[in-house]
Amino acid sequence: MKKVGSYALLISMLSGCSQQNTVNQTESEVSEAQMQENSENIETEKMQDTEKIQNTEKIQDTEKNENREKLSPFEMHGALHVENGKLTDQHGDVVQLYGMSTHGIAWFPQYVNPDAFRTLRDDWNTNCIRLAMYTAEDGGYCSGGDKEQLKQLVKDGVSYATDLGMYVIVDWYILSDGDPNQNKDEAIAFFKEMAETFVNNDNVLYEIYNEPNGGTSWESIKAYAEEIIPVIREKKPDAVILVGTPTWSQEIDKAAESPLEDKNVMYTLHFYAGTHKDDLRNRLESYAQNGLPIFVSEFGMCDASGNGANDFESTAKWLDLLNKYQISFMCWNLANKDESSSVFRANSTKISDWTEEDLSEAGQWIKAYFQNRSYQ
């Protein structure tokens, strides 16, 4: 009986152990299942959090882009300066200005109006306007023109551009007076008044002469600049100043050999695509690579006379090169003069909101080019 009882007890004990093991195994399996479930839940939560972050970033990027599109050029970039040979904005980012130059405002004053500038900004996708005021030609500032009227046109143009958040270039447009020193005293008085008038306008750039020519040397040009620049600096210590170069603003190499001490100047190069090809393009590229601050304040698609056939293939090569080095450029000219370089047909009388019928061959091409640029 004792043996039977002991055997039964042993069986009972083993059975109990087996049941306990089964319970333990079941609990372990449950625990593992719970851990797996918890892990999956954590992973799901992580994925959801990642998706939330990504969606938030997408929304923020979209809002940023929408806000950027709503901002005017000046609101995006603010006051400009020259840094490492590049035109640079208040955020330290390189910026390109691009747009139209007026023809002589003494002869085509009708295009200096707020609706014209708004059309250029909103329809043509440009961010800058150049106000070209001739000095020596008939009706020019220094040759019988109405000085007060011309100055008022410049002031009005700057006001319209400022209201639209565009940049604007005040251009002392010498041509037949090939040496800028010829009318230096007039230039000093003019830029003194302009700098005082625009003391609070950080969207204004000053082009102190257009195209020195007739054999005028860089030494003569530089001496003129060294007298004009301090006049502007009295009121505008940080404004960007554009300085022309010899031979119709083509010999930037001369400026590179003996640059001005002012660090906030850029040297102008002008080209007309029908005339100026690889030789001048190579010169620009060479000096751009070496860090010379260059600004193309005037170019045309025809030949250097402002007339003749347009060469759009050469123009495209030029603009590709300028974009490569982030160089700003202004197209000549905003007028209905009967010549190839004018962007309006001679019979067009509209002064804003132009249609294709108003545009010349050059006008249609450059408008399409501006419109297809990514806005900066």
Decide: 130 and 297 in contact? Cβ < 8 Å.
Answer: yes
Secondary structure class of 311 (helix, strand, coil):
coil
Q: Which position among 298, 356, 357, 361 bears the catalytic label?
A: 298
Integer angstrom CA distances of residue 279 from 212, 295, 300: 20, 18, 17
Q: Which position among 137, 211, 251, 339 bears the catalytic label?
A: 211
- Give the span between the Cα atoms of 193 and 172, in whole angstroms: 13
Decide: 272 and 299 in contact? Cβ < 8 Å.
Answer: yes
Q: Is 298 a catalytic residue?
A: yes
Q: How far is CA 337 from the centre of its chain?
A: 28
Residue whose structure tokens are 């190839």:
340
Decide: 310 and 340 in contact? Cβ < 8 Å.
Answer: yes
For residue 151, what are the contacts with CB-CB under 8 A and spacing of at least 6? Answer: 190, 193, 194
Question: Residue 265's beta-bridge partner residues?
Answer: 241
Decide: 69 and 61 in contact? Cβ < 8 Å.
Answer: no
Q: Is 227 a catalytic residue?
A: no
Secondary structure class of 300 (helix, strand, coil):
strand
Tokens standing for 235? 């009121």
Buried/exposed 152-177: b ≥16 CB within 10 Å, e otherwise = ebbbbbbebbbebbbbbbbbbbbbeb
Catalytic residues, which ones? 211, 298
